[in-house]
Structure 1
Amino acid sequence: MLQVTHEIDYKIQLVTTIEQSEDPVAPAHSQASFRTRLQNFGRPPRVMGLDLARGLAILGMVVAHLDMPEEVDLFAPGTWGALANGRSSLLFALLAGISISLMTRGRSRPSAAELPHIRLAMLGRGAFIFAIGLVLELLNTPIAVILTIYGVLYVAAIPFLRWSAGKLLVLSVICAVLGPATLAVLKTVLLEPSAPGVMLTFFGIYSAAAWLALIFAGMAIGQFRLASAATAGKLLAAGMVLAFIGYGAALIPAPGSVTPFLEESFDGEELIGDSSMPMPEYVPAEKLDLGGMYCEGEPGSYVSCVPPEEVPERQSMDEPGLSSDQWPDSSSYDASYFSGIGWAELAQTISPEEIGASAWLAFFSAEPHSGATAEIIGSGGFALIVLGLCLLVAAPLRWIALPVAAMGSMPLTAYCAHLVSYFIAAGPGGMLMSDTALPLTVMALLIGSTLWAIFLGRGPLERLAGLSARAMAGAPNPVQTGNRTTE
């Protein structure tokens, strides 16, 4: 039997890096007593500051889903939850990039021989995450699921695994600066394409331009010494500068020529994503003056009311609607309605000012989920601030941070548990409007994650993701050494 070489051992270690590092308790203590496991939670090779940041990102998304103030008022603590809107998902994207870097290379570049196995493992993990996202979307909650686009971008990062930190940062800047404007102009010129593929990757609430910029930045940061206080300090300082630049740019007034178009765009909320429509305000029915209006809707649902002149001509004022056999024949419609606009009419349909307004918003909107450059830079800076602080305080505040870090050690499980609990409480298509939902959800996630991490280690869905990665990667190929092959 030939001796197994160090290269083979290293390959196997690289393919299963994520399985080894995802156990929140150091491997040497994985079979120890409860007290020992508790004391060794988050010890090397894990970086507890990263787990803490992941936990805060999950908490931020829970707050954004269950406590939805529209704007932050520094003098009203009840509105501080609005800080999580949009920023928590971008923090999650940054941390995803760091995780990819730690899984696939750490601080050393993988060799060409190791890449096929690493890439296949990444593909298997991304496919599993995408599939879990589809299952969550089937629950039909009002929450925009992040896992489908997360799985897609996980795979999109595969070609860049060997890139240096400098190249990745340049690519991140290109995505942040040029990506939003390109997508916004294309959306305007192409008359807002809405096919499922482009909605998932480009024009959905989680914009590919924003996420790729943060993922590439995270992949670069993952090559630094994250356990170093100096690195944490640099991330904190860089985050402050970027937040100042991004949110400061959003205050620049728009040129007069594009202002009318900006007023029709919900303050930038429909720039790229279509899922940031402001929530309706609930008021007592007796305060509404609906005299002379015509309304439609179902009991227990939203009611839409319009003045008489806006009621479709084909519908009688005395009837709630027409059955399908009463609809007019399609031949009665103008053929141009079905033929679209085409190249000849495009110039008359879209003005240069409208294109300019799209480009302006793509650069200078900082609205949550707008996917604009200002939001990417500003909220990306916010994410760096959170990451830097977590890396600095995780050790000195270890016992205080432990429950949040435990949840961050199993982010996929915690996120899915939150959405499933929302579905159970609200039902299909239901909106959870409860004052106790937020504290109960947070308490359950913190307690459940802590107990699971201490007693059982890695989260259940993290284990399945690891199995998917190993199944896709298979065993590493033999290493050629001279004229002999080691197996």
Structure 2
Amino acid sequence: MTRVRGVDAARGLALIGMVITHLDTRIDFDPGVAASWRHVGDGRAAVLFVVVAGFSLALATGGTTPHDGRRLADDRLAVLVRAAVLAGLGAFLTALGTPVAVILTSYAAFFVLALPLLRVPPGPVIALGTVLVLLGPLLAAWAARDLPDLLIDPAGALLVGHPYPALQWTGFLLIGLGLGRIRLRTSDLAVLAVVGLGLGAVLHALMLDLSERLGRTGPAGESLVVQALMSEHRSQNPIEAASALAIAVGLLSALMLLTPRARGLLYPLEAVGRMTLTLYVAHVVAYAVAIGIDPSLERGSGLLAASTLVVALVVASAWFTRFRRGPLERGLHEVVVRTQASAEPKAG
């Protein structure tokens, strides 16, 4: 697969946003509070990460001309192997007991759920993704209220449990997959960047105003819609989910448009985006070690977040002067290649 530098940069930006969210002090983002601007990525970074994952999945499986036949079978096997490894890493990181809401196990589920749609045209894929993003929070809330036993089952918890209910978050991946199937021209990227970022800001402002109005009127009953609109979390509020999605598409489009013209200025961001698995795992492990040394860090630390990002940018930038893949990325690639080789039919 030919690397698309803007996609690497977007993935790197998403990782940086998640690191800040995980390690910095827990302050809600408020546009009117300058100190909270470092939390603009809270929740939105994970959405960008998943949208970019869908776009990358499209590129890896044929781009605008999806693979078929044997190549499609190989693609599906590769996705299943990667999902199994990601799920295992996610379980390991969760067991470390940090405050981080580890996304890897859910991330693996999104890929598996997307497998039947690899050959579906982009229009229906994007439409389905949009429906899941907007209606997923309501369906997850209904399941939590009326089918509580579903959350006890591991598969059910992956499907409708927070913070990354697959019933909704697979929609983010599908929208990225659909966009990756479209031949986007420079003008298309410019329109998506402007409209996405603008619409995302407008929807967020609308959500703040609506939430304030609903808060003044007091509890309006047990309506799932009202409960969803009162929530500030992307996994529970359809308007916030739509805002985060629009911003993710806008950022991805802007970076795809600008990175080839940036003359290497965004190289550190691209480098981080090329080894996100390694850096994601490393920052959670490092956080667990740091908490073991100083338990007060469990509440978050701006200094810890800043130092982690500096190390990540420096290490990633230096790494790719000698190597093609990050350490975990290379290991995962080897596992996929060997599994595909063992699955090939033997002659004779």
Q: Compute the displacement of 1:103 (Å).
A: 1.1
Residue number in structure 1 paired with 2:112: 155
3-state SS of paired residue (1:463): helix
Q: Compute the displacement of 1:238 (Å).
A: 3.7
Return the alpha-carbon distance in structure 2 between the equivalents of residues 429 and 137 of structure 1: 19
Return the alpha-carbon distance in structure 1 between the equivalents of residues 63 and 151 of structure 2: 39
Is 1:450 the counterpart of 2:317? The answer is yes
Residues 419-430 of structure 1: pairs in structure 2 closer than 5 A: 419-427=284-292, 430=295
Return the alpha-carbon distance in structure 2 between the equivalents of residues 163 and 428 of structure 1: 50
Return the alpha-carbon distance in structure 2 between the equivalents of residues 60 and 88 of structure 1: 5
One of 440, 463, 476 as aligned partner of 2:330: 463
Residue number in structure 2 paired with 1:436: 303
Residue number in structure 2 paired with 1:218: 176
Larger radius of gyration: 1
Return the alpha-carbon distance in structure 2 between the equivalents of residues 253 and 140 of structure 1: 33
3-state SS of paired residue (1:205): coil
- Please identify, of 145-154 and 233-242, the stretch whose mean Cα deviation from structure 2 is larger: 233-242
* One-letter amino acid of the counterpart of residue 382, structure 1: I
Unpaired runs of at least 5, structure 2: none
Mark the CA change 1:196 to 1:449 in structure 2 (over 3 Å): closer, same or farther. farther
Mark the CA change 1:443 to 1:166 in structure 2 (over 3 Å): closer, same or farther. same
Mark the CA change 1:77 to 1:454 in structure 2 (over 3 Å): closer, same or farther. farther
One of 38, 49, 54 as aligned partner of 1:97: 54
- Which deviations, in whole Å up to 9, do the C-alpha atoms of 1:65-108 show, x marking residues without a partner? 12235333445432111211100000001011011111112110
Q: Compute the displacement of 1:463 (Å).
A: 1.2
Mark the CA change 1:435 to 1:172 in structure 2 (over 3 Å): closer, same or farther. closer
- Which deviations, in whole Å up to 9, do the C-alpha atoms of 1:29-49 show, x marking residues without a partner? xxxxxxxxxxxxxxxx31111
Return the alpha-carbon distance in structure 2 between the equivalents of residues 149 and 425 of structure 1: 25
Is 1:360 the counterpart of 2:318? The answer is no
* One-letter amino acid of the counterpart of residue 127, structure 1: A
One of 63, 71, 74 as aligned partner of 1:106: 63
One of 401, 412, 422 as aligned partner of 2:266: 401
Return the alpha-carbon distance in structure 2 between the equivalents of residues 190 and 258 of structure 1: 31
Mark the CA change 1:360 to 1:458 in structure 2 (over 3 Å): closer, same or farther. same
Residue number in structure 1 paired with 2:96: 139
Return the alpha-carbon distance in structure 1 between the equivalents of residues 112 and 5 of structure 2: 26
Q: Compute the displacement of 1:140 (Å).
A: 1.2
- Please identify, of 467-476 and 381-390, the stretch whose mean Cα deviation from structure 2 is larger: 467-476
Unpaired runs of at least 5, structure 1: 1-20, 22-44, 263-352, 479-484
* Residue pair 2:88, 2:105 contacting (<8 A) in 1 also: yes
Residue number in structure 1 paired with 2:158: 200
Q: Compute the displacement of 1:151 (Å).
A: 1.0
Residues 305-454 of structure 1: pairs in structure 2 closer than 5 A: 353-354=221-222, 356=223, 358-362=224-228, 364-365=229-230, 367-427=232-292, 430-432=295-297, 433-454=300-321
* One-letter amino acid of the counterpart of residue 84, structure 1: G
* One-letter amino acid of the counterpart of residue 106, structure 1: G
* One-letter amino acid of the counterpart of residue 227, structure 2: L
* Residue pair 2:197, 2:251 contacting (<8 A) in 1 also: no
3-state SS of paired residue (2:106): helix
Q: Compute the displacement of 1:192 (Å).
A: 7.4
3-state SS of paired residue (2:261): coil
Instruction: Indicate the percent of aligned positions where both proteins have the same amino acid.
Output: 30
- Which deviations, in whole Å up to 9, do the C-alpha atoms of 1:198-250 show, x marking residues without a partner? 33331221122331111000001111335x42232132134135425632552
* Residue pair 1:140, 1:428 contacting (<8 A) in 2 also: no
Return the alpha-carbon distance in structure 1 between the equivalents of residues 110 and 328 of structure 2: 19
- Which deviations, in whole Å up to 9, do the C-alpha atoms of 1:323-365 show, x marking residues without a partner? xxxxxxxxxxxxxxxxxxxxxxxxxxxxxx31x1x23333x35
Return the alpha-carbon distance in structure 1 between the equivalents of residues 206 and 31 of structure 2: 21
Mark the CA change 1:69 to 1:103 in structure 2 (over 3 Å): closer, same or farther. same
One of 87, 90, 97 as aligned partner of 1:130: 87
Mark the CA change 1:82 to 1:167 in structure 2 (over 3 Å): closer, same or farther. same
Root-mean-square deviation (Å)? 2.8
Return the alpha-carbon distance in structure 1 between the equivalents of residues 110 and 55 of structure 2: 13
Return the alpha-carbon distance in structure 1 between the equivalents of residues 192 and 132 of structure 2: 20
Is 1:209 the counterpart of 2:167? The answer is yes
* Residue pair 1:366, 1:378 contacting (<8 A) in 2 also: no
Mark the CA change 1:258 to 1:177 in structure 2 (over 3 Å): closer, same or farther. farther
* One-letter amino acid of the counterpart of residue 168, structure 2: A
Return the alpha-carbon distance in structure 2 between the equivalents of residues 106 and 158 of structure 1: 15
Mark the CA change 1:79 to 1:252 in structure 2 (over 3 Å): closer, same or farther. closer
Give the number of aligned pairs: 344
Return the alpha-carbon distance in structure 1 between the equivalents of residues 174 and 323 of structure 2: 32
Return the alpha-carbon distance in structure 2 between the equivalents of residues 70 and 126 of structure 1: 32
Residues 49-64 of structure 1: pairs in structure 2 closer than 5 A: 49-64=6-21
* Residue pair 1:410, 1:459 contacting (<8 A) in 2 also: yes
Between structures 1 and 2, the one with greater helix share: 2
Mark the CA change 1:413 to 1:217 in structure 2 (over 3 Å): closer, same or farther. same
3-state SS of paired residue (2:99): coil
Residue number in structure 2 paired with 1:3: none
Q: Compute the displacement of 1:381 (Å).
A: 0.8
Is 1:167 the counterpart of 2:110? The answer is no
Q: Compute the displacement of 1:172 (Å).
A: 0.9
